[in-house]
Structure formats: C-alpha cells, structure tokens
Structure 1
Amino acid sequence: MKSLSNISRTQLSNEKLIKLLDTYEEKGKEYYYDMLFEKDFDVIFRQTKEEDNFYIGKFFKFAFTDHKLRQLSRRDLKPQNQDEYQYRNYKRVISRIHQSNKKFDLFHSDVIDLSKMISKDVSKVQINYIDNPVKNLLNPNQKIQMTIELEKLINLFKSEVARKEHEVIALIINFYIDFVNMEVFNQYNEQIGLFLMFALIQKYFNVFKYVSFFKYLYQKQNVFNQGILEANYNWHEGYSSYERLYTLFIDILQDSYDELKKEAHRYEFIKDLAKGDNVEASILKIKTSDIFSKQDVRDLNPLVSDSTIERTLKKMRDEGTIRPLGTGRSAKWQLIRKQDEFQTMQLSLFSEADFE
C-alpha cells in the first residue's frame, strides 16, 4: 500500500490538468451516448468486446497470426494448445468485466476467483505468504496469507474513493502499482492487476462500452512499460512515481472519447440518412394530391428536423422525382409520377406543333 497511501506526491501540470478537465467534460455526455446508441447497443457492445479480445492478444504477444487472432477473438473455438487455453481465459475475463460494467465492486474474494479464471487449464496459482508482523498469543502463526494485505489495500482504495479528495484515475493507477508490487500470488500478478485496473476504469468511465480500452493501451504499450518501470522504482521506500502512467491514462481516455464523439457524429449522420429515406417514402405515398407543401411533410414526419426535410426535398428534386412550384415560404412542390412522365413524353413526341 506504499503507493496508494502516498498518492499526494504527484501533481499534474496545468496542461495535463486542462486535458483531465476536458476528459471529464466528455464523461458528462455519457447519458447522451447511451440514449443515442440504445437501439444498436448489442451490436456495438459485441464489436467492442471483440476488439478488446483482439488487442489483448497483441498486448500479451501471443504467437498467432492476425488472421488467427481475429478468428479466436470472434469465435469460441476449442483450444488446441496451451497458448490457446491462456487466450481463452483472457477472453472470458474480458467478457465478465464487460458484463459487470458499472456494477463491478472490488472484493478480495473476486480477485482470488480472477486468479483461478485466468490460469484455468494452464497453471495453478497459489497465494503467497509473508512473515506475520503482529505475532502474539491470539495470532501465533509465523506466516500469514497475502490476501490479508490485499484486503487492506482494497479497503484503502474504497475509502479514498469515498473521500473524494483524489481523482479516481490516480487512485486506480496507484492501486494497480501497489497490487503488482505486493505479489499476492506466485504468478500472474501483472495480468491480474491489469484486468483489475480495466474493470475499475470501465466502472467509472462508460466510454469503454463503445471503444476498445486495450486497443489504445496496445498502441501506447511502450509508454505503459516505461511508466511501470518508473512506478516500481523506489516503491518499497514509498517514493513511487506514477506521473507517466497518470498522463498516459488521461491520453487514453481523451483519445477514446474523441473516437466516441466521431462515431456518434457518423451514427447520427447515418440515422439522418435513414430519416431522409422515411421522409421520401412518406412523400411518395401522398394520395390526396400530387401537390404538397413543406408543412405537409412536417406533419407526416413530426420527429424529423427541418434540415433533413430540406435535404430530402433537394435530393428528390435533383433526381427528378418532384419539382418546385413557386419560391419562398409558401412554395409548394409537385410529385412527378412515372405515369405522368410517360404521358408528358407522348404529348411532346406527337404534338401537332411538330408538323407545322
């Protein structure tokens, strides 16, 4: 707990503080994104998990071709060797974290379950022991399990989150640094720590339902590794430096929200096109008269914006489906039906004026 208990040792520069504030401004729009993507959420959510599956394979440098990795990331193929069993375990962990989302809560029993899930059919993870610092008549054991220290770390993290004196990204990073350096288990500490960090970040930042966290972590893996080295240095003395990791995760969040914003803009554009198709269909179904006004179209499509109606009218005019009658606000439009076009063509071809 040497890192989390000394969290105040690092201060952000003004530039990084502004980026952090920008990130929280985007975080404030999460409800809007949830509403926007609601109808297609299952598809987007599945794609995000598949991207996380793919990039966790790249991050941990599995010896699969990209084609093989894509197959494994999308399908539950029966593992054929130890690498594939290990990759399957990582996929299951990612799926469980995505399913828990904001409901995720941190308990030491969950961490033990995670160690079993991550090593299933590959290796046997054991809990490490340390010397008992408070040996007495009531507690005579020479050694105690590291899970006792893990529970202390989890309680400290939760109390710091509840106090709200420190920013949550900084708390998550320092929890991760402490967890890895404490070596609760005989193996997999880095991997377990990484997945715990992912679970906590996703709990507090909704963006990773829609954007792959591990894609951006993989892209910045060299910076991440350097940040880990700096954070581990002097950890035992309580002087761990987490500034590089803090800056990295602010950048990852900002890049992720930027991607989400662009995807939302593209999604709205596509929805707008679909609305335009609906507007066009409603115009073509007009039966009372071939002449109509923009207000008639509004009445038929009350949830569609004026800009979409204008764009649809212009498109239909350019395609020769309708023609304007007059100009200005009171202008009307006339629907050109295919039969009318045929009759007009006949009158033009056989007009008596052609023989004069």
Structure 2
Amino acid sequence: MKALANMDRIQISNEVMLLLLSLYESKGKSYYYDDLFSRDAHAFEKNTMESNLIALARYLDLKMTDARIKLFAKKPMSPRTKDEHLLFNLKTALYQLHKSPESFELLVNEVGNLIKLLSKNTDPIQFNTYEIKEEGMLRLKKHSKKEDLEQLMHLFERNVKTKKYELTQLITNFYVDFLNLDIVSKHNDLVALIMLYSLLAKYFNVFKYVSFFKHFLVDKDGWQSGIVTANYYWSSGFAQTEMLSRMLLNLLLKSYEEVDDMAHEYRFEKDLNKSDNIENTVMKLEEIFAKEDIRKKHPNVSDATIDRTLKRLKDEDKIRPLGKGRSSKWQRIVTGNKKYGMEQLSLFGD
C-alpha cells in the first residue's frame, strides 16, 4: 500500500492536467454514446469481447495459432490444452464483468472468485502467505496476503470517497500496489491487469464499445517500462507512477477518439438501409472477396444481416459462391455497369 497510502506526494503537471480535461470532456458524452448505439449494443459488445480476447492471448503469448485464438474469441469452443483452458476461463471472466461493469465492487471475494475461475483446469492459483513474528510470540505466524489486499481495497474506496484525488491516479496507484504486494501465487500480473480493467470498465463506459486490451497491447513494452519506473522507490513510499498514469490517460483518450469515430460512421449508416449499404461495399471490393472483408467494413452489423444480403445478391445474380464452409469466398459477377450505378464518368473522353 506504499503508493496508494502516499497520494499526497503526487504533483500533477500542466501536461497531465490538459490530458485530464480532455478525458473528462469525452467522458461526458457517455450517455450520448449509450443512446446512439442502443439499437446495436449487443453487436458492439460482441466485437469488443472478441478484440479483448485476441489481444489478451497475444499479450500472454499463449501457445495457440492465430486461427485457433480467433475461433475461441468468436465461438463456443472446447479447450484442449492448459493455454486454451486459460483463454476459455478469461473469456468467462470478461463475459461476467461485461454483464454489469458499473456494479463491480472491490472485494476480496471477487479476487478469490477470479483466481478460482482462472485456475479451472489449469495450474492452481492461491493467495500468497508469509510469516511474521508477533509481539510476545516465540513462533512465527502465517499471514495471508488476502488481509493485505483487504486493507488495500479499503484504502482505495476511502480515497475515492474523499474526492481529494483524481480517479485515474487512484486506479494507477492501486494497480502498482497490487503488483508489488505479490498477492497471488501465479499470474499476479494478469490478475492485477484484470482488476485494473474492471475498475476502468466501472468508471469509463467507453470500454463497452472499444477494446481496452487492444490498445494496451499496442504499447505493451512501454507499459512494462512504466511499471519498472513505478517500482523504483515503491518500498520507501515514493513510487514514481507518473509515467504509468500518463500512459493510462493516453490509452483512455485514444479509446474515446475511436468511439467518437465510430459514432460519426454509425450516424451515417443509421440513415441508410443496412443491406443496401453492404451491397454498395460488395461492389467496391475486389472481384473475389470473403465475408470477413465485409465484416471489416461493417463491424457493427450482425452476421445475419450480412448473410441475408449475400443471399439476396446471389439470387439477383450479382455474386456467386466459390466453395463452401467458413473459408468460402464469393465472386462478384458484374461490376462497373450502368445498371449498378458504378460506371466511371469521363470528363475528357470521346
């Protein structure tokens, strides 16, 4: 609790203050995003979950092929190896969190349930213990890190209630303390990261629509450098958490920028017939294309809508299937034709 117990040491620079002003201005649009995306909220959450799991698998360097990772992210799969079981357990944990992130509470039991879930069919994870000599006692007594965690959580909640410290600073310092206290016997860094994400998801609902772990993975090495810097003077109560705090702020701002771009595109698509919009995309793709090419252009449109559109275009003899199954492709039969409004206009031709 060296970092969280010494929040008064932190001095917020002008640069960080400007980042915070931008962040809370973006956070103020949360109700607008919820209202705008409400019709397709499930599709957004599904895409976010898939991106989170793919990024987590790569962060953990799991021994799984990219194709296998994507299948686990997109579909119900039966795990075969320890790494696959770990990813399956992470998927379950994130699904439970995403049901109601605003209801998440910092409780020791939540961490206990999390490590129990992550341990399922993989290596066991337990709360670490250490021995202390109590005053007047000749023998050493075992002390559980569970008690240290409870104190850390109480301190975080107390600091939040005082409203004396900025929220992202508190979350960053809680995360640094969790790492340094070495709370659990295995995957301590992963459990700390999930707790960090749970707190961010509780207070910043941008992560309903944007993948936190996707952005986190982009600067994985920088984040590790920030942890090393924060740990320098942690034991003396002067953890240097500014670098991590700034990186977290930049990650949040990039996430809000992404959801803002999504909102602009979504507003435009909302006024169009989705099927017509997909058809327009098909006519602009390469002559041979896959369903995945359409999904990349329309990430928030359901698979059912894409399938219906492809069937309609096939019935209208505009496209034809090449092969069967998940890896099948399609061929556009006609393009650049006046009938489809695709003819190139020439200003200077004969």
TM range (shorter): 0.7 to 0.9
Counterpart residue number, 1:45: 45
The SS at the match of 1:273 is coil
Output the CA distance in 2 between the equivalents of 1:191 and 1:254. 23
Output the CA distance in 2 between the equivalents of 1:133 and 1:238. 23
1:105-138 deviation digits (Å, cap 9, x = unpaired)? 111111111111112111112222233465468x
Tell me how far 1:99 sits from its aligned partner: 1.7
Preserved CA contact (<8 Å) 2:3 2:238: yes
Preserved CA contact (<8 Å) 1:135 1:141: no
Preserved CA contact (<8 Å) 2:134 2:141: no
Letter paired with 1:35: D
Output the CA distance in 2 between the equivalents of 1:136 and 1:92. 47
The SS at the match of 2:235 is coil
Counterpart residue number, 2:15: 15
Moved over 3 A (4+): 131-137
| Percent identical | 36
Q: How does 1:217-236 map to 2 (within 5 A)?
A: 217-236=216-235
Preserved CA contact (<8 Å) 2:93 2:114: yes
Tell me how far 1:16 sits from its aligned partner: 2.2
1:220-266 deviation digits (Å, cap 9, x = unpaired)? 11111101111122211212111111010100010000000010010
Q: How many residues align?
A: 275
Preserved CA contact (<8 Å) 2:89 2:118: yes
Segment drifting more, 179-188 vs 195-204: 179-188
Counterpart residue number, 1:127: 127
Counterpart residue number, 1:194: 193
Cα RMSD (Å): 1.9
Tell me how far 1:12 sits from its aligned partner: 2.8
Preserved CA contact (<8 Å) 1:3 1:240: yes
Preserved CA contact (<8 Å) 2:119 2:125: yes
Tell me how far 1:141 sits from its aligned partner: 6.9
Structure 2 residue runs of 5 or longer lacking an equivalent are 277-350
Preserved CA contact (<8 Å) 1:135 1:142: no
Structure 1 residue runs of 5 or longer lacking an equivalent are 278-356
Counterpart residue number, 2:294: none
Counterpart residue number, 1:90: 90
Say if 1:135 and 1:116 are closer, same or farther in 2 by CA, change over 3 A.
Answer: farther
The SS at the match of 2:160 is helix
TM-score, scaled to structure 1: 0.74
Counterpart residue number, 2:151: 152
Preserved CA contact (<8 Å) 1:48 1:212: yes
TM-score, scaled to structure 2: 0.75
Does residue 243 of structure 1 match 2:242? yes
Say if 1:190 and 1:267 are closer, same or farther in 2 by CA, change over 3 A.
Answer: same
Preserved CA contact (<8 Å) 1:230 1:241: yes
Counterpart residue number, 2:167: 168
Greater Rg by CA: 1
Letter paired with 1:76: P
Output the CA distance in 2 between the equivalents of 1:56 and 1:126. 21
Preserved CA contact (<8 Å) 2:27 2:204: yes
Counterpart residue number, 2:65: 65
Tell me how far 1:199 sits from its aligned partner: 0.2
1:131-189 deviation digits (Å, cap 9, x = unpaired)? 3465468xx97222111111100000000011111111111111111111111222221
Output the CA distance in 2 between the equivalents of 1:81 and 1:148. 33
The SS at the match of 1:131 is strand
